Chain A
Amino acid sequence: SQTIHQWPATLVQPVGSPLSLECTVEGTSNPNLYWYRQAAGRGLQLLFYSVGIGQISSEVPQNLSASRPQDRQFILSSKKLLLSDSGFYLCAWSSQASGNTDTQYFGPGTRLTVL
């Protein structure tokens, strides 16, 4: 069966510090991968998605970036964090074979607090 991992689970970082959040998927090949951010009490905002190694699409301009160095690894980064980057970051995957169904399955999330 497929599983998705995210780490760290929680992170407290000072403003201006770098960020690296990692997401890995097991049990599937060539998945679509997604990064979402959820502000407190709000819905999900799609940040990035990837359909393959090295292929990244950005949905929202910001000081964050994403990379996909391996088929089942998705990394969210920042060179300098802002206070507004605080939130709950969720990674998700879906099967490229699912067509329009494209059910996304989420990881446990990383709670980021920027002070």
Chain B
Amino acid sequence: AQKITQTQPGMFVQEKEAVTLDCTYDTSDQSYGLFWYKQPSSGEMIFLIYQGSYDEQNATEGRYSLNFQKARKSANLVISASQLGDSAMYFCAMRESTGGFKTIFGAGTRLFVKA
């Protein structure tokens, strides 16, 4: 079974609007971490936001917030007030406490921001 599932291969959003990128995960660990990365066309992976499995509050970093629903095993990324520079691939990732140093990445969602 897929450990990280991103069901949206591509998404469009109008500039200045909010967009939600979906991510579901599968783990039997109680302790794990969830990450979102942005990959612009240059290729570099940019860390955006982290959520720990024991964190009760949803993580926020500027215009990025993580909608963490533990019971549903979802960790959706919300980008508010989209900008043209947000156009990129977005990857959800998970590190399990029993996984050693292995971080598992989803297949990614390509976001297009329209002017």
Among B15-23, B69-77, B80-88, B99-107, the stretch in contact with A: B99-107
A46 within 8 A of B: yes
| Bound Cα distance A107, B52 (Å) | 24
Among A16-24, A66-74, A75-83, A95-103, the stretch in contact with B: A95-103
B56 within 8 A of A: no
**Which DSSP category, helix, strand, loop or mixed, fits chain A's interface?**
strand
Q: Is the CB of A43 within 8 A of B101?
A: no
B8 within 8 A of A: no
- Chain A positions 16 through 60: 1 when the CB is less than 8 Å from some CB of chain B, otherwise 0: 000000000000000010100000001110100101000001010
Within 8 Å CB of A104, what residues of B? 35, 47, 103
Q: Is the CB of A43 within 8 A of B47?
A: no
Distance (whole angstroms) from the CB of B95 to the closest CB of chain A: 5
Can you list 18 A-B contacts with CB-CB less than 8 angstroms, sorted by A residue number?
A: A32-B101, A43-B107, A49-B101, A51-B101, A57-B100, A57-B101, A59-B102, A88-B43, A92-B45, A100-B52, A100-B97, A101-B50, A101-B52, A102-B33, A106-B37, A106-B46, A107-B44, A108-B43
Where the two chains meet, the residues of A that have a C-beta atom closer than 8 Å to any C-beta of B are 32, 34, 42-44, 46, 49, 51, 57, 59, 88, 90, 92, 94, 100-109, 111
